Amino acid sequence: MGNLSHVDDQGRARMVDVGAKVPQRRLARATGAISISATTADLIAENHIKKGDVLTVAQIAGIQAAKRTAQLIPLCHPLVLDKVDVELRLAEKQVVASSEVACVGRTGAEMEALTAVSVALLTVYDMCKAVDKEMRIGDIFLVEKVKRDVEEC
C-alpha cells in the first residue's frame, strides 16, 4: 500500500491539492442493501408505512446526500455534480439501493455515490424502524469508478 494521500509528512490530516490535475469526466456507481422482515417488505410494497412512500423518500434522500457529501466528510472536495441517480428496489427480504454519480472534475465521485447509497438505506431504516427492530444495513461498496478525458465524451 502506498502513501496515504490525506496525510501530510507529519501524519496530520490534509485535503489533497488537486488543482494541477486536468478535469476529466468522472463516473462512480455504488450499491448496498438493508435486510428487512417479510412483513416490512409487504408494508413497503403496499405503501402502508405510516411515514409515507419509503422507496421514493429514500431515493430523494440519497440524491440530496450525494450533493452534500463534502459537507459530511471533512476531506472530500466539493464537486459540481452533473448526474445523481439513485434507485431502490424491493426484494424478498431486503431493499437494494444503487447509485450513479457523474461530473467533470479533478477528483472522483466515488464518495458521493457511496454516500447516496448509505443515506438512502439509512432513510429506509428510519422510516421502517417502528415496525422492524431487526433491520441490518450492509454490503455497501463501490461497483465502478471510471474517468475519461473530456474530449472522449
As given in the structure block, the three cell numbers for residue 14 are: 490534509
- Confirm if 7 and 14 have CB atoms less than 8 A apart: yes
Any idea where the domains of the chain sit in the sequence?
24-148
Digit-coded pLDDT (tens) for 86-121: 999 999 899 999 999 999 999 989 999 999 999 999
Rounded to whole angstroms, the maximal C-alpha distance in the chain is 56
Digit-coded pLDDT (tens) for 50-94: 999 999 999 999 999 999 999 999 989 999 999 999 999 999 899
Options 8, 126, 132, 139, the catalytic residue: 126
As given in the structure block, the three cell numbers for residue 137 are: 444495513
Distance, in Å, from the CA atom of 17 to the CA atom of 5, rounded to the nearest integer, reads 10
Residue 139 is a catalytic residue? no
User: Which fold would CATH assign to domain 24-148?
Assistant: Alpha-Beta Plaits (3.30.70)
